[in-house]
Structure 1
Amino acid sequence: MGMTTPVRCHRGGTMQERPLGWARNPLTEFDQLLSEMSGLIESTVGGAAPAVAWTPLADVTESDDAFYIEIDLPGVKNKDIDVEVNGQELVVTGEIKEKERKGGLRRGARRTGAFEYRLRLPGEVDTEKINGQMSDGVLTITVPKAEVAKPRHVEISEKSESTESSG
């Protein structure tokens, strides 16, 4: 049993030879790394590459005969939006133009640049009749369901001969 010596026995300071970085809080280092990375990405990209398109916020609701996709696009002009259906995928792309500002921007939190929103459509929709409407900074895309998918109301007729009375 003399072969395995517990680490505690080495009092020669071998435990202190860990990399110093760990002495600090690893989380703050992680944060630092992240902010450095995002800074790096912003500086290399220059903010105008479609590769880093952001995704706008959207709600998808459903009625009996259609799906409605409401996408928040404040300040975006109709001509700057492109909606296309690619097979079962709805793709909304476009760009929010940077405003010309007088004076320096103290704090920028609003998204500008290219955006992209993708949604996988359910099978039974009528892609021919999809339309979009912009109002008050919200783009509403109406995706009608195909006739197949619409719920049908089945009439239940009463049988006239009620001979049996189960009572």
Structure 2
Amino acid sequence: MYVQIDLDGPAGTLRVTGHDLPTVELVRAPGATVNRLVPIGTRDRAALTLTVDGRPARIRPARGRLLRRSYRVDVRVDGTRYRLVPCSYAESRLTRDGRRLGRLESSGDGTVDADWETGAGVRPRDIAVGTALAAAFGTGASPWWETVGDIVGELIP
């Protein structure tokens, strides 16, 4: 399935479209503090507006700290819960209402590679929302013990 990703990090806009896909748009509020490590520019939920097929959806990115789980992004669209959470250095897992849909990989450059689970019943909206989240926030994260080691290493002269 063809997916078009239009990410403009400096402007804080993302649009995902494609044949038979609902349009997903994520916009960073004007004047919001920009975090250059996040492709869309922020993890502040108050500074983000998400729409799926023109209807508002709720987005709740976690703060992104020590644990991989702290980089998760939760979305609710018409009663359906999506979660994108890192599962390796480079990949994140997408679930819909707790059911695993696939693994996505994006380095934050506006491209996303997806490996959808066979038999998971992946729908066009799943693909559009998952692709948008991966493009907007990137995927993957280091394990907590490696992060702690890096911090300790920085403290030792």
TM-score, structure 1 normalization: 0.27
Which is greater in Rg? 1
Between Structure 1 and Structure 2, which shows a larger proportion of strand residues?
2
TM-score, structure 2 normalization: 0.28
